[in-house]
Chains A and B, each alone.
Chain A
Amino acid sequence: MRKPQADQETYYRGIPTVPYDLLKELALAFVASGIVIFVLALVMSSPEVPPLTIQTWAQQDPVDFVTTATSELAGTSFSAAYGPPYTDGSDSVQVLGPFAPQQWAGNAVHLDTAQDFVLGPLGTAAVGNPDLTSALSTYGAADDATKQSWLAAYTSALGTATTQSGEVVVPAGSYGPVPVLMANLIAVAHSGGLDELLLAGGHFFQTNYTKPLLFMGDGGYLAGLAADQHLLGSQWGMMNETGSYPGQAWLWLYSMWYQLPPYNTAPNADLLVVLTMLALTLVLAFVPHIPVLRDIPRWIPIHRLVWRDYYRWRRTRPSSETA
């Protein structure tokens, strides 16, 4: 058992006391911080760069949109190959030796990028659209090898694609029904319909943006907007903010590891950084018990400034009286 906790009288014996109004201090600090906050809010407002919609993406960068959609259909996109918790892939699974928590946690979302991002929305859009209905049934009836050859040919053709009045034009080739599917998908996207279809997923009320965000994350357009705002991981983006606002400066250490070897080139960088930060947080939490770390305050005499009145007072007293 430790010393009796309520026995502050014993603890402070011999030390003079002064009146100290904690609640008044709290009230004054509340008013003072309120004034600072109100002035900052009035003068500087707050960050507000509008969200990107799939509609805007398809309008501003149709080739990137169609390239991304084609990779979703082919199952070659970042999300399709991701692995848990989105798919059964493994490209983004991070392990450290036998420690594989991402693998153990499993696939919770069960994302099927071809169905969820392309074929499903097109199925809804196909009502009253015989060309699209026919293209979808042609695509559905083809075997996997044929589909992949269409998609591979179309993907490489997209490398030289041009845009004509919002539509993506590629040189002629054997793409099967893929160009019709993509022309219809971008038409739905242009109308704003794809934003709705990716979100809805058969439910009336919506709060889950997993699908549209993964889809946009697979493209290059959103990442380009983020890069303009210095938000990429390689740009210390974790601690940055859109516009000229301070960001989460308190994440500086978390953000720093991503810039340094071995983290900046490791395939399991996220896991390494998380584990590093976990270890450092435990160190911080248990500083009182860690030699050297707990002694530094005694060596660096900042406390001499904080308690300068105390040390002056102490020097003027026989040491026996403070015992």
Chain B
Amino acid sequence: MSTPSSHPAPEPGDATWTGAARRLLERRLPLTHLLPSRQPFFVGSWVYVFGVVAITALIWVIGSGIVLAFFGPGWFHVSGVGRFVNSIHFWSVQLFFFFVVLHLWGQYFMASWRDGRATTWLVGVVIFVVGLVTGFTGYVSQQNLDAQWIAINAKDGINATGAGSFFNVLDFGQMYGIHVMLLPITVTMLVVLHVVQVRMRGVVKPIEPQAPGGRRNAPTDVA
């Protein structure tokens, strides 16, 4: 029988799911990879900063969104402070998409999907799409002329897909609930997954000039 120990060395006899999960995490995502204090020296361009700025904008979006949700959807129409918090929400969303798109451009031109990183790219695209839907549900939750018109104008596109039968953009309660609960949680979890994916594999190496007879590390190497 094993004796209590603080040392997490793998035990050959440990067949528990918990132990297996711990060993998998320790192998695939050691803390030195999750929180590295050194990077390859080629990580030295402002292009690498776009993703981080997008994350900070998202933090501002969520922070201001929590305040808006706490006081309720009618608050910012009748309160100066509420209007200011709504303005922070509005501009942080603008900043978020601004830097998400720059991040996408940057990663595209760096072909960052190379060397086994295609799923990281895929999750990034999913974040963008879910972000669009989150923005959309927010726009129709504003309770102003913009929200009225966007709902009326957008319904036809959504109805054309059949989704209008369960996703009713004219139903403020449904849109607001999805906007303040379901989608922020989804975006946050996807961003966490995206960052973990990046940290698991590390940043991709630069594109190597094509050597004669060799295609090592070319952008096409996705596996």
Once the chains are docked, how many angstroms separate the CA of A40 from the CA of B94?
10
Interface of A is mostly: helix
Evaluate contact between B37 and A41: CB separation under 8 angstroms. Answer: no
A22 touches which one: B36, B136, B200, B222 (CB < 8 A)? B36
Within 8 A of B (CB), among A243-284: 245-246, 248-251, 268, 270-271, 273-274, 281, 284
Contact with A along B156-190 (1 / 0, CB 8 A): 11011111111010111110100000000000000
Evaluate contact between B157 and A311: CB separation under 8 angstroms. Answer: no
Interface of B is mostly: helix
Given contacts A11-B202, A51-B147, A231-B149, contact A105 B157 (CB under 8 A): no
A309 touches which one: B28, B42, B147 (CB < 8 A)? B42
Evaluate contact between A6 and B30: CB separation under 8 angstroms. Answer: yes
Evaluate contact between A8 and B222: CB separation under 8 angstroms. Answer: no
A6 touches which one: B27, B116, B211 (CB < 8 A)? B27
Evaluate contact between A210 and B220: CB separation under 8 angstroms. Answer: no
The answer to the question of A12 belonging to the interface, with a C-beta cut-off of 8 Å to chain B, is yes
Given contacts A207-B172, A209-B171, contact A274 B207 (CB under 8 A): no
Evaluate contact between A33 and B95: CB separation under 8 angstroms. Answer: yes
Once the chains are docked, how many angstroms separate the CA of A270 from the CA of B166?
18
B145 touches which one: A50, A217, A250 (CB < 8 A)? A50
User: What residue of chain B has the Cβ atom nearest to residue A103's Cβ?
Assistant: B162
CB distance from B73 to the nearest CB of A (A): 10
Using Cβ atoms and an 8 Å threshold, which residues of chain B touch A297? 108-111, 207, 219
Evaluate contact between B109 and A303: CB separation under 8 angstroms. Answer: yes
Contact with B along A219-263 (1 / 0, CB 8 A): 000100110010111000110011001101111000000000000
Evaluate contact between B92 and A37: CB separation under 8 angstroms. Answer: yes
Interface-forming stretch among A13-21, A61-69, A144-152? A13-21
Evaluate contact between A306 and B109: CB separation under 8 angstroms. Answer: yes
Interface-forming stretch among A157-165, A171-179, A288-296? A288-296
Using Cβ atoms and an 8 Å threshold, which residues of chain A touch B157? 270, 273-274
Evaluate contact between A44 and B147: CB separation under 8 angstroms. Answer: no
Evaluate contact between A217 and B35: CB separation under 8 angstroms. Answer: no
The answer to the question of A298 belonging to the interface, with a C-beta cut-off of 8 Å to chain B, is yes
Evaluate contact between A33 and B110: CB separation under 8 angstroms. Answer: no
Given contacts A109-B168, A207-B172, A295-B220, contact A270 B205 (CB under 8 A): no
Residues of B within 8 A of A (CB): 27-30, 33, 35-45, 47, 49, 52-53, 55-57, 59-60, 77, 83-84, 86-92, 94-95, 97, 101, 106, 108-111, 113-118, 121-122, 125-126, 129, 132, 135-136, 139, 142-154, 156-157, 159-166, 168, 170-174, 176, 200-202, 205-207, 209-211, 218-220, 222-223
